């Protein structure tokens, strides 16, 4: 029997016991050019899959919310993300997508681009402000 997601999160080792403990403070550091480190178990992958996250009884949405990632963040190494983006451009993926959510769902237009700001984005904004000074 799989424990509920809250129980799995509670069972995860504390940051002091983790060799990668500092990564949770700034989730952007867990993603490098070649790997992404799972902030629950500390293993490095090219991509954090739903299958791996299921071993921790966590969904991708829960994982991103727990560690402060943007909702749209791909849980994959930067090199792999570039590879997928280049391939999408090469095969013309954008021209094959016919459904535009903002056209089909007018309530999205009314929101005016409002969305929650995750820890990752807040840290990036702070970093940019410091560099300007």
User: pLDDT digits over 21-69, tens only?
Assistant: 555 568 888 999 999 999 999 999 999 999 999 999 999 999 999 999 9
Is the predicted pLDDT of residue 105 greater than 60, yes or no?
yes
How many separate helices (H) and strands (E) can be counted in the chain?
8, 2
Distance between the two ends of the chain, CA-based, in angstroms?
54
With a CB cutoff of 8 Å and minimum separation 6, the contacts of 28 are 120, 123, 124
User: pLDDT digits over 76-102, tens only?
Assistant: 999 999 999 999 888 888 777 766 676
Helix (H) or strand (E) holding 37: strand 36-37
Across-strand partners of 56?
A: none
How far, rounded to the nearest angstrom, does the alpha carbon of residue 56 sit from its chain's CA centroid? 16
pTM for the model stands at 0.63
């Amino acid at each position: 029997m799989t424990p509920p997601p809250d129980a799995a999160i509670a069972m995860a080792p504390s940051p002091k016991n983790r060799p990668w403990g500092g990564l949770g403070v700034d989730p952007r550091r867990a993603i490098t050019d070649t790997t992404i480190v799972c902030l629950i178990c500390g293993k490095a992958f090219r991509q954090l899959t739903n299958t791996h996250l299921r071993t921790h009884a966590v969904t991708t949405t829960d994982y991103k919310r727990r560690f402060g990632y943007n909702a749209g963040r791909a849980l994959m190494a930067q090199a792999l993300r570039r590879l997928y983006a280049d391939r999408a451009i090469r095969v013309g993926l954008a021209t094959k997508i016919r459904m535009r959510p903002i056209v089909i769902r007018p309530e999205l237009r009314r929101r005016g681009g409002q969305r929650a700001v995750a820890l990752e984005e807040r840290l990036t904004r702070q970093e940019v402000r410091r560099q300007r000074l």
